[in-house]
């Protein structure tokens, strides 16, 4: 049996008590409750409630993955102000991986025993769908049970447009080539006023959610992200989480919610704070765990938030600290100070020394040994 927390003894902010009563009775908390959680200074009380939910859903397990990152090109038509990773085709930093290069990169990591390849990249007009189909097929040929988590909703929308086919057709063809699940990138902040500043050419939040619903209708599980610590305010965060919870009520297709703390180095948008504070992070992750009662996992990507904070957050509602992520380039272009690789031992140690039981999984939470 898992130990059950007794938050009443810990909750100092008495305004949290009514929402704790709802949590105990399995009643979804309201948007007003979410505002309260996002502004309380009682992070220990909030954390106790989040831990209660986390324990009920995921026990003492702490999930991690053994994977590699594949960012196939950094050339992108959109050049979002929030992005430090992308560049124009004439830029000295510009690159596109050939299919042979991708094959040899994946082979090298497969030989080391990875379970999964995580693929995202820029929007490049010359890369047509056959390049991506062949990419996935070659990866599956290297290791037939390699799990492929690939392409954000923004990329799917672009693939449909430049190939002049429907989103459904894109999914059908990529599933046939080996697609296993979708990462949650591109969600940023759904509120249009802020979205139009940080990513003016990106698909709308509404379109992002529509594409996720289509992915869910194909049986694909997906993640969902939220980018915070840029120009958003609390109402934007409440709106974002409410939209996700509503779609999840309809489809049940979101596996994991992944808040991403914004890094502003080399970008066109200055962050509110150089980095979010520990209290900001705790409030957001714990509130998300409580509010998103219908999404099973809350992930704190150690590479974004730092390994020490990711470990602490395991006690504040988080059950997944991310993966080994060999060769991550997106957040490191924006100034993340973490290493661009974490060994399996390193991740297990973070989870174990926080008092949890490490479990190695794919993005679909299939257990791997």
Pick from 360, 356, 365: which is nearest to 311 by CA? 356
**CB-nearer residue toward ligand SF4: 76 or 174:** 76
Q: Which is nearer to ligand SF4, 79 or 107 (CB)?
A: 79
Q: Are 294 and 56 in contact (CB under 8 A)?
A: no
Nearest to ligand SF4 of 97, 346 (CB atom): 97
Report the alpha-carbon distance of residue 138 to residue 238 in Å, rounded.
41
Supply the DSSP symbol for 62: E
Sequence-distant (6+) residues with CB within 8 A of 293 are 26, 28, 29, 53, 245
DSSP 207-256: HHHHHHHHHHHTT-EEEEEEEESSS--HHHHHHHHHHHHHHHHHH--EEE
| Rounded CA separation 282/38 (Å) | 9
Which residues contribute to the site for ligand SF4 (CB under 6 A)? 76, 78-80, 83, 85-86, 122-123, 154, 199, 202
CB of 76 to ligand SF4, least distance (A): 3
* Separation of alpha carbons 220 and 232, rounded Å: 30
Closer by beta carbon to ligand SF4, 48 or else 198: 198
Name the strands in the sheet holding 61-65, side by side, starting at the edge strand that comes first in the sequence.
320-323, 61-65, 357-360
Task: Quote the least distance from Cβ 268 to ligand SF4, whole Å.
Answer: 10
CA distance 291 to 284: 10
For the bound state, the minimum distance from the C-beta of residue 123 to ligand SF4, rounded and expressed in Å, comes to 6
Strand order from edge to edge, sheet including 147-150: 67-70, 116-119, 147-150, 181-182, 221-228, 254-261, 297-298
**Rounded-to-integer distance, Cα 159 and Cα 151, Å:** 10
The sign of the torsion formed by the CA atoms of 260, 121, 324, 303 equals: negative
- Report in angstroms how near the CB of residue 170 gets to ligand SF4 at its nearest: 16
Shortest reach from residue 212's CB to ligand SF4, in Å: 16
Task: Please enumerate in sequence order all residues whose Cβ is within 8 A of that of 14, keeping only pairs 6 or more positions apart, or say none.
Answer: none
Judged by beta carbon, residue 137 or residue 201, the one nearer ligand SF4 is 201
Which residue's CB is nearer to ligand SF4, number 86 or number 229?
Answer: 86
Q: How far is the CB of 180 from ligand SF4 (least distance, A)?
A: 21
Distance CA 52, CA 8 (A): 11
Least distance between ligand SF4 and beta carbon 79 (Å): 5
Nearer Cβ to ligand SF4 (267/338): 267
In the complex with ligand SF4, the residue whose CB is nearer, 225 or 311, is 225
Whose Cβ is closer to ligand SF4: residue 85's or residue 147's?
85
Q: How far apart are CA 342 and CA 324, in angstroms?
A: 5
Q: Which is nearer to ligand SF4, 123 or 247 (CB)?
A: 123
How near is the Cβ of 266 to ligand SF4 at its closest, in Å?
Answer: 11
Minimum distance, C-beta of residue 235 to ligand SF4, in the bound complex (Å): 23
- From the CB of 283, what's the least distance to ligand SF4, in Å? 26
Q: How far apart are CA 220 and CA 216, in angstroms?
A: 5
């Amino acid at each position: 049996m898992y130990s059950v927390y007794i938050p009443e003894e810990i909750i100092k902010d008495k305004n949290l008590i009514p929402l704790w009563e709802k949590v105990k009775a399995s009643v979804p908390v309201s948007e007003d409750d979410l505002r309260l959680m996002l502004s309380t200074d009682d992070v220990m009380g909030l954390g106790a409630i989040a831990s209660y939910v986390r324990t009920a859903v995921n026990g003492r397990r702490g999930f991690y993955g053994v994977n590699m990152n594949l960012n196939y090109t950094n050339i992108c038509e959109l050049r979002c102000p929030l992005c430090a990773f992308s560049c124009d085709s004439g830029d000295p930093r510009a690159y596109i991986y050939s299919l042979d290069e991708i094959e040899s990169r994946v082979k090298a990591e497969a030989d080391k025993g990875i379970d999964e390849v995580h693929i995202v990249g820029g929007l490049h007009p010359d890369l047509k769908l056959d390049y991506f189909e062949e990419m996935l097929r070659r990866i599956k040929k290297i290791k037939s049970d390699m799990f492929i988590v690939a392409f954000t909703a923004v990329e799917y929308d672009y693939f449909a447009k430049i190939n002049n086919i429907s989103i459904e057709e894109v999914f059908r063809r990529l599933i046939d080539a080996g697609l296993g699940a979708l990462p949650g990138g591109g969600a940023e902040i759904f509120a249009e006023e802020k979205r139009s500043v940080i990513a003016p050419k990106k698909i709308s939040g509404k379109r992002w959610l529509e594409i996720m619903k289509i992915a869910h209708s194909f049986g694909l599980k997906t993640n969902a992200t939220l980018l915070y610590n840029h120009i958003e305010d609390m109402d934007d965060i409440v709106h974002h989480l409410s939209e996700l919870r509503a779609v999840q009520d309809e489809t049940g297709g979101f596996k994991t919610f992944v808040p991403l703390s914004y890094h502003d180095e080399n970008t066109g948008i200055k962050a509110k704070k150089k980095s979010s504070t520990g209290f900001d992070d705790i409030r957001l992750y714990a509130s998300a765990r409580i509010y998103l009662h219908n999404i099973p996992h809350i992930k704190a990507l150690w590479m974004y938030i730092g390994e020490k904070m990711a470990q602490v957050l395991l006690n504040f509602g988080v059950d997944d600290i991310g993966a080994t992520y060999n060769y991550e380039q997106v957040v490191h272009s924006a100034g993340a100070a973490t290493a661009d690789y974490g060994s399996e031992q390193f991740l297990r140690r973070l989870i174990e020394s926080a008092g949890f039981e490490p479990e190695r999984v794919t993005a679909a939470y299939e257990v791997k040994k």
